[in-house]
Chain A
Amino acid sequence: MNYAARVKNDIGRWRSRGWIDASAAERMTRDVEKRAARTLGFGAILAVLAAILFAAAILIFIAANWEAIAHLVRVAMLFMLIFAGYVGGAVLKSRGLDGAGEGAWIVAAAAFGGAIALIAQMYHLSGEEADAVFTWGAGVALAALVLRSPALTVVCVALSGVWLSFAIAEIDMRQPFGPAVGYPVVAAILWSLSLWTASRPSRHLLLLLLIYYGLLQYLRADDPAVAIAVAAVSVGYFVLCALRPRMAERLLAIGQARVHGLIGFGAAMMLLQLRFGDGTAFALLAFLTFAGAVAALVLGGRDSAPVRWLAYLLFAVELCVVYLATIGTMLGTAGFLLAAALLLAAIATVIFRFERRLRDEQNREGART
């Protein structure tokens, strides 16, 4: 059940108990519905999805290198599409059709990328893909900046992820971490852009890409210290977000900030376990992963459904990993799981008592007022 439906349920209950009168209930329900409608315009979402399909069609059409239309005609078509997309989108947006306007801008941004690919095709350029994607992303960033477009910001962040994937694979002996080592700088610039365009999804995607970046660097450097650093930073980030939620929201303006800490921790632990596979180090990692999932649940699961479900998922996956990889022998694994179960049961007892005492106190206070 989503937030609006839940609040409406609650309002109905408060009304039936006589805590609020009919007119207040009516006004509250209308307010909730108005807010829900603003956050979820299906027309706008479908318009953007249509634009994405249209954009994909442009790109694959360029890739097909269809000879029936001369190169220059194809270039001219893309130039017109760029112009019509940006200007048409601005007209639509100024008339209040935000979804359609953003959609038109996405098509224009795709046409810009398609034109870069077409030029490479026309002149048989065999430069690095990473450079082409970087150029494309820089052009889209300019558009997002000038037009203050949240949708183009997301496109730009997604392109930065593609660039990262290409650039990380480049071999360059002078730089052990390759040209992608500058990704955090790119991410910082895009983060500022996302604040300017008020694009919250961009910031979520950027945090995920930073985790991806850390793990790619681990795979590239083949040094467990990098993955351990990713896990440690993720834990620190999670704890900070959970203990100081208001500060985190002011700094990051993202909502649900701590989810990313759990994702980073879980992914790094999985990769580390893959590396060690067996023995004491594996047992320690497995223990830490279980502990991390449980700690995340206790520390940040109460007011964040994504954290709760992700912690359950991490717990379940870790159980499968331990079960399949086995710690030493099957007998050893059984011992490990038994110890973990006893420990968890003990923690559960403590928390259970703590929660009951808290509830009793609240009930007593509720009875007094």
Chain B
Amino acid sequence: MSRRARLIAGAVLVALVQIGFLAWIIAGRAAILRDGAEIRLTVEPVDPRDLLRGDYVRLTYNISTVQSALFDSGVLADHRGAGGERLCIGLDPDEDGIARAVSIRPANDAGRAAETGAVEICGKATGVWSGAQGRNLRLEYGIERFYLPEGEGRAIERDLGLRAFTVVVAVGADGQAQIKALYDGETKLYEEPLY
């Protein structure tokens, strides 16, 4: 092969590897949206000064903090909870259809996977602190941002403090979560297409 042909072949290879990698991520995310179990979470207002950073709104949820009552004594007795461990939360919808946290387990502890067949969402522990009802554990599920077209963030940021917003989230079989739609009360504000 000539030097020229080798260079162009290399360029095609690099382009295909990069495009293939990106397409693989997109396919994985679309699969969660398409096949994932649907749950509904309420959005809780965050400190309004920190809500909007650039082109996305920061969201926290009713399951962003879980209380120690859930900590099955054996599972998390020696758990420091601030080291970025992956944990899975078992969810159960209440009468309004909002998912509530009912159980917790370390993600790598498959033996403790929910026997009930309930939906499980997995996330990263980011902090632990003691509150009035015992210990609280803070979690991030990778769905804490909602990207918006430039300039549309302020209005939502303002309304978040006034009314109850909910999101519909798709959860994949491995516990990975993804935002499907954002609701202002019963009004659907945004719904994400598969692609």
Contact = CB atoms under 8 A, between A and B. Distances in A.
Contact of B15 (A65, A70, A86, A126): A86
A259 interface: no
A89 B8 CA distance: 9
A253 interface: no
B29 interface: yes
Contacts of B140: 126
Interface in B3-29: 3-4, 7-8, 10-19, 21-23, 25-26, 29
A58 to B, nearest CB: 14
Interface in B39-75: 54-56
B161 interface: no
Interface in A48-74: 63-67, 70-72
A79 B19 contact: yes
Contacts of A142: 14, 17-18
A112 B82 contact: no
A99 to B, nearest CB: 16
A145 B3 CA distance: 15
A173 B13 CA distance: 40
Contacts of B54: 63
Interface string A88-99: 011101100000
B195 A72 contact: yes
Contacts of B80: 173
**What class of interface size applies to chain B in its complex with A?**
35 or more
Interface string B145-173: 11111100000000000000000000000
Given A124-B143, A126-B145, A147 B10 contact: yes
B144 interface: yes
A252 interface: no
A127 B176 CA distance: 12
Contacts of A82: 15, 18-19
A143 B17 CA distance: 10
13 contacts: A63-B55, A72-B195, A75-B22, A82-B18, A82-B19, A83-B15, A86-B12, A94-B3, A116-B22, A123-B33, A146-B13, A147-B10, A147-B11
A90 B8 contact: yes
A174 B83 contact: yes
Contacts of A12: none
Given A75-B26, A82-B19, A116-B22, A146 B82 contact: no
B145 A123 contact: no
B136 interface: no
Contacts of B195: 71-72, 75, 122
B7 A90 contact: yes
Nearest to B81: A173
A190 to B, nearest CB: 17
B4 A94 contact: yes
B3 A147 contact: no
B130 to A, nearest CB: 16
A71 B193 CA distance: 9
A135 B69 CA distance: 39
